[in-house]
Amino acid sequence: MEDGARCEAMIRVATKYGASQNVRYTGVDQFDARVEGQKKLQLIDMHRRLKSTQAKIQLVPGDLQSAISRIANSHVRTDMIIISSGYDQAALDATWFYFPRMLHSGSLVLIQPGAGQPFQSMTRLEVEKLAEHKSPKRSLAA
């Protein structure tokens, strides 16, 4: 979520073109537990900042993999998923499995491959292929 400026701007654009009570934003970040070298971002401060947009805000602390696995079933029919640079590739690979259940036919998935690089869009089919190849391995019972 970096410092929250982009999140706030996206929410304001969304509310400009729709009723603010219909805009929902979920942000996943380490927040207070960010690693050394990352700018600290307190959960309570981010919540206060984004609450001023009048959108429904849900902030989910934790690493990408554990957070997405916890919220995937409650975020079906998500319109947009944005994955900013700075993610752990192994965690993202383990997370693709959950994304298809969150999408609908018109969902937009954007991913930023590296800091300062432009976002790239992904189709639902591309996400489903990644999910298929990156799905958790299950052992068969004898």
Q: What is the pLDDT of residue 136?
A: 61
- Over residues 98-121, the pLDDT tens digits come to 999 999 999 999 999 998 899 999
Structural domain containing residue 97: 64-134
- Residue 22 covered by a domain: yes
Is residue 6 located within the same domain as residue 25? yes
Residue 140 lies in a domain: no
27 near 7, Cβ under 8 Å?
yes
pLDDT score of 4: 84
Which three-class secondary structure state does DSSP give residue 66? helix
Co-location of 91 and 53 in the same domain: no
Q: What is the pLDDT of residue 3?
A: 76
Do 75 and 58 belong together in one domain? Answer: no
Instruction: Quote the pLDDT of residue 37.
Output: 67
Q: How many Å apart are CA 133 and CA 58, to the nearest integer?
A: 29
58 and 30 co-located in one domain: yes
DSSP class of 2: T
pLDDT at residue 142 in the model: 45
For the record, the structure tokens of 29 come out as 């970040």
pLDDT of 139: 45
The ranges of the chain with pLDDT < 70 are 1, 19-21, 37, 135-142
Of the chain, the end-to-end C-alpha distance in Å amounts to: 44
Q: Enter the tokens of residue 133.
A: 């190849």
Determine the Cα–Cα distance for residues 45 and 70; give it in Å rounded to an integer.
23
Whether 118 is covered by a domain: the verdict is yes
Is position 1 within any domain?
A: yes
pTM here is 0.83
Whether residue 142 lies inside any domain: the answer is no
Residue 120 has what pLDDT? Answer: 97
Helices 5-16 and 43-51 pack at an angle, to 10 degrees, of 20
Give the residue from 30, 62, 94 where a domain finishes: 62
